[in-house]
């Protein structure tokens, strides 16, 4: 399906959904990757999940191979050169997808932006800058992109925006320490991400899925904070 420049798939748990979750996949995957998680969340309310497919582009760290990617990855070195133009372009595309969800009748405050790995990085980037405050951000096994722009670009009015961050202790793709640095950068910028770590690699685990479900169900009255 598409009514924006991004192709996407939709999974709806019941009629008349009260929440829309836009979920961004990781490098080389597509929108189908996280669809199987929806029934595992066992949400007690009707929800609409939108899983967009990233555009096809060459990825530098993979020898220029063309694959689905939200932006190019030039290096895995922390503090290395980043594809700012790609990040901003995909942010604009996903923002238009969120706009389309708003046009369907969802208030921004009832839209959650989620993502894994590269998709999680983009979710953080866009969610903190979107023109309206969203219901929350889920950032899994990822990092904060363009961190040097965070303080000047992120909307300080979103300080209470719920942010769920999670990472695997044994992640050998994006080191947990890199993710923790991003968490600390968010805190320094005035946000209060809720932090979770799991005994896993670069992926997801049942406990994480359960924690995401609990977090989604508690958004109305949940308080944010960093936890270990």
Active site positions, annotated: 117, 171, 202
- With contact defined as beta carbons under 8 Å apart, do 34 and 22 qualify? no
- With contact defined as beta carbons under 8 Å apart, do 200 and 170 qualify? yes
The residue behind tokens 């992926």 is: 203
DSSP state of 55: P
Beta partners for 9? 51
Beta partners for 21? 49, 112
Instruction: Give the separation between CA 157 and CA 129, rounded to whole angstroms.
Output: 10
Coil, helix or strand at residue 195: strand
DSSP state of 164: E
């Amino acid at each position: 399906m598409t009514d924006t420049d991004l192709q996407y798939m939709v999974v709806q748990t019941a009629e008349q959904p009260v929440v829309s979750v836009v979920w961004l996949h990781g490098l080389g995957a597509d929108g189908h990757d996280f669809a199987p998680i929806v029934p595992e969340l066992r949400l007690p309310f009707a929800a609409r999940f939108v899983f967009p497919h990233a555009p096809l582009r060459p990825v530098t760290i993979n020898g220029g191979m063309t694959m689905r990617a939200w932006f190019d990855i030039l290096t895995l070195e922390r503090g290395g050169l980043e594809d700012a133009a790609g990040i901003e372009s995909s942010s604009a595309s996903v923002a238009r997808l969120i706009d389309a969800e708003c046009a369907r009748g969802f208030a921004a405050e009832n839209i959650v932006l989620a993502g894994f790995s590269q998709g999680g990085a983009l979710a953080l980037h866009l969610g903190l800058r979107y023109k309206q405050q969203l219901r929350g951000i889920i950032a899994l096994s990822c990092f904060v992109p363009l961190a040097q722009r965070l303080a000047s670009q992120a909307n300080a009015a979103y300080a209470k925006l719920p942010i769920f961050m999670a990472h695997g202790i044994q992640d050998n793709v994006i080191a947990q320490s890199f993710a923790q640095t991003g968490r600390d950068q968010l805190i320094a910028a005035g946000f209060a991400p809720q932090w979770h770590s799991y005994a896993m690699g670069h992926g997801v685990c049942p406990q994480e899925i359960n924690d995401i479900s609990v977090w989604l169900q508690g958004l109305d009255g949940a308080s944010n904070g960093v936890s270990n």
